[in-house]
Structure 1
Amino acid sequence: MAMRDPLLSKLKAVLLRLKEEKQPVTDSDPDLQVLCETLECILRKGLKKPGSVFGLYKRDYWCWMESLMSSAGSERLHPMFSLAIEACRSPNKVKSHQGRGRFLIRICLNKKILSVPIQHLLKNHRMLEIWYDPLMSIIGSDMLVESLMSLLHLTSEIQFELNSKNASFLDETWVLPVYRQYEFVPCKDLGIVIRHIRQRVIVADVKEDSVASHKNRIEPGDVLDELYGESLYGSSRGKISSLLKQHEGWPVYVSVIKCHLRTGKVFQNVHDIWCVLRDEYSGFKVPTDRDPNLRKSSTDSDQGEVLHKLSGSSVYKVKYVGCAGVGKDGGTAVIESAIASVLKEKGPNSSTYKDVYLELGETNLITWESSDEDTVFMKHCYPEISSCGRRTDALLYFAYVAGDTTCTISKQFNCYVYFANCDQEGKAILTSIAQGFGRTTWFV
């Protein structure tokens, strides 16, 4: 094998691009698919795959990674890697060796442990010989594997925030669909017509003025992936009605795989299912590509809207005004002047502010792009937040102050200013921040 391998060059290039990004890497990042495909090619290069004696199954890189659980010997496996393997063994969303391997790669990126399985494999020379050809593989080559390990360690320096629930199509593709999680008001009927086709629950029709039709959250061609946190992939036909009956009177929590990608192109892996659905349900029209910039109109107002995720997080649709540096002092005393400074720069016209979703989680505050809920605009954990509050003469403007590290040792603080839809909403958000982090000082 050559001293250099093009796959390693490709891996290095994509990692350097990702490392330059200031925001965490999410499913919407176009370089993520390149990274995952390259990693998979490296793991498969030179992989010995004899399969079973009768050819009933074929081995993949997942197989040797899973076998580390029983062949590690005296070498204790990294606890996070053991948990990752157990998570991938669940048959709910991934059912093949390929799907489980891809799911494991995503978990390892999130947990910064991608180098762990290869480290263990390199320590077990007998196992390494069984799985990899030293002349054809990167992992089996003494020289190339050193370069690979240094690149894998680089992945631990990149912040990945990949949605672990978005896994139902990993058996088939690395192209990740748009994944949405919704909460609907308690009801017995969402107003959708569904069909079970090839183990998927497909939306055939959405009734006009129904709960599901609100703001076009669910559209014909979408795939229902979860209901109340339980996977619907491969589920029986009675599972949905059973879950709705069990949770009667509760808000309805649904996770949906959208029929369109972020680019506006249709999600091709569902196209064959749509063709079957068209024959079964005469009113169904196969989705087509659309302009990604085209926003569907809605007569409903987002004023004061708050959503609650199944995890317990509250999500508010607000406007982000701007940020002002406040130096070494992160107390409430700087908030009024910081808001005034941002308003002086941005002006009082709220139409020029950035539409965002502000998620108040158990451990952090996340600001999402309003145009794409999978894109993290800003994130701060509660220990970084030193204070929050608002001006008494401009109650719609609220802000919090956060340091560049834990606030007790931070030497530099910034004040982040937002615009609420109403007075009560601003107060509710500030109260939630204070409750989320007991040491945060605040005033209303």
Structure 2
Amino acid sequence: MQSVRDHLEIILARLAARAGEERVFTKLYAEAARAAADASDARSQAGVTLGPLDGTIVSIKDLFDVAGEPTTAGSLMLKTAAPALRDAVIVSRLRQAGAVIVGKTNMTEFAFTAIGDNQHYGTPGNAMDASRIPGGSSSGAGVSVGEGTCDIAIGSDTGGSVRIPASLNGVVGFKPTARRVPLTGAYPLSATLDSIGPLALSVTACAVADAAMAGEEPPALHVPLPLTGLRVGIPRGLLFEDTDSEVAAAFERSLREIEQIGAHLADISIDDLLADFRSATKRGSIAAMEGAEVHADWLATGASAPVDPHVSGPLSRAAMLPTPVYIRAMRRRAALAAAMDERLSSVDVLALPTTPVTAPTIVSMADDAGLRDRTEGLLLRNTQVANQFDLCAISLPMPGTPLPAGLMLVARNGHDRRLLRIAAEVERLLAVDQH
């Protein structure tokens, strides 16, 4: 069996070979990672383990605090910020579980926007085709898992920032119920909508990382959970408009597989709740309004370094909104989340495409502002529902698409562990189908 240290050295050698044009990672912890890998190998030799994460190579998004260094969150402005006094809670929990933290991954500035580009630190090319966008905001996270420069990546998800890169890079991405995983030491975008979640090549790896970060025991994914009788709701309507034909075909094939094993599929309408949410946040999204508070100081005085206009524009517009607009949106959200919870009581999960489109080229996004805006809207449309209505969700790669696209399963608030068990079964089913 390969030692953890050998596995790590292969990854570090790959990263060293492209050091001149590194865009996936913004920082490497080679020496600390070597020490952690050696410690894991020593435990293994002694027959001791810290659990299922012990010796796993993990990358973390560039918005998690690591003691002794500034947290840059994809921005030039924070390069000179005061160093973090201590590790983010999730970073120390991962270390305690034996994870080998290899480095910090690139992201869109301040975790805003879903395309995955970064004007300051470069744009990581998609793991399947480097000329295509990685998806954001956890861009480097999705690519690092997809290309194999880590086993598990930790990202954040405010409107889809874990699941969008997972979908576009052909990996698994899990967004837990908000606040199950502590946000302490993670650079905020929206205190209400932010969640911290893992990306990996399997549901099991995501579940193990999620449990460590939430301070829980991992769910029993090895115990089969029969899909027979599982109630799957298909929210046809708004969330299925403008879906690429290849994505739609792969989704319908996946549904047929799930149905053939005995699950009950039923259309469920949520378009009224989506329309209500849209009108409640017409003047400003919750993420933009809460983000404007995080960034209020430099928005008022002017930035000390260049900021991506796709980030500064929406934030500065949201900063101008009066307080009652925000409070009303939040009150309406609470009522709509309760209504959605009731609506979903008739199903075990919702199933829909994670992203209605596959990754366009980086060049096309830079050349055509209208296309960029439309693409961003489509990338966020389906995933943001889970954040807006306070749900948990996971994206699984769908077999049979020329470019990667995800199948998203969504469950009610707090049903995370059950969702992971269902996802593990669906993953097994679709994997069998591939061979």
Range class of TM-score, shorter chain: under 0.3
Give the structure with the larger strand fraction.
1
Give the structure with the larger helix fraction.
2
Query: TM-score if structure 2 supplies the norm length?
Result: 0.26
Instruction: Name the larger-Rg structure.
Output: 1
Query: TM-score if structure 1 supplies the norm length?
Result: 0.26
- 1 or 2 for the larger relative contact order (CA 8 Å, sep ≥6)? 2
